[in-house]
């Protein structure tokens, strides 16, 4: 039997989707993403408590945006990691500027905000150091 040199290759071929990570996500990134989801839950508690005092639906939109960023970070998107870093830095500045006033108004809201900020900072540390940093530098990040 002759080999047909114009026949397609017989090797199995499969497409990979854009969401399929090429490198396995390290535990450090999984922990960071879990901390970020917990932070989103804390943020939701903050918004519910804050909405009780003054309605601000823009806060709910912001939580949806942050949740989307966390989802993209879990997929290995480096731009989402950088965007979250910028938002957390701006948030730290905003908290610093109004923390004393907020503490005087409502210490519970202040405590919630401190917990949320600590969770976000711990997550960013994990995402920007060691295996987390290396994973975002691999072909999965875009």
**pLDDT tens by residue, the chain, 142 residues:** 577 878 777 777 666 555 554 568 899 999 999 999 999 998 887 777 776 666 667 777 888 999 999 999 999 999 999 999 999 999 888 877 777 777 677 777 778 888 888 999 999 999 999 999 999 987 644 4
Per-residue tokens: 22? 């090429």
The total number of residues written for the chain in this structure: 142
pLDDT the model gives residue 112:
82
Model-level pTM? 0.74
Listed in sequence order, the DSSP H helices in 14-137 are 27-53, 58-74, 78-105, 107-128, 130-137
DSSP one-letter code for 12: -
> d(Cα 138, Cα 96) in Å, to the nearest integer?
35
Q: What is the pLDDT of residue 126?
A: 96
Which of 60, 30, 32 has its CA nearest to residue 45? 60
Cβ atoms of 42 and 115 within 8 Å: the answer is yes
């Amino acid at each position: 039997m002759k080999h047909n040199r114009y026949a397609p290759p017989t090797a199995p071929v499969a497409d990979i989707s854009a969401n399929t990570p090429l490198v396995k996500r390290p535990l450090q990134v999984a922990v960071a993403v879990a901390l970020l989801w917990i932070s989103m839950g804390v943020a939701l508690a903050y918004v519910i408590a804050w909405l009780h005092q003054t309605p601000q639906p823009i806060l709910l939109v912001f939580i949806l945006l942050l949740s989307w960023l966390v989802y993209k970070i879990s997929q290995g998107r480096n731009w989402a990691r950088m965007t979250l870093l910028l938002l957390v830095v701006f948030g730290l500045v905003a908290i610093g500027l109004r923390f004393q006033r907020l503490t005087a108004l409502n210490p519970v809201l202040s405590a919630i905000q401190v917990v949320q900020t600590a969770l976000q900072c711990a997550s960013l540390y994990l995402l920007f150091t060691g295996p987390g940093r290396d994973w975002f530098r691999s072909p999965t990040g875009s």
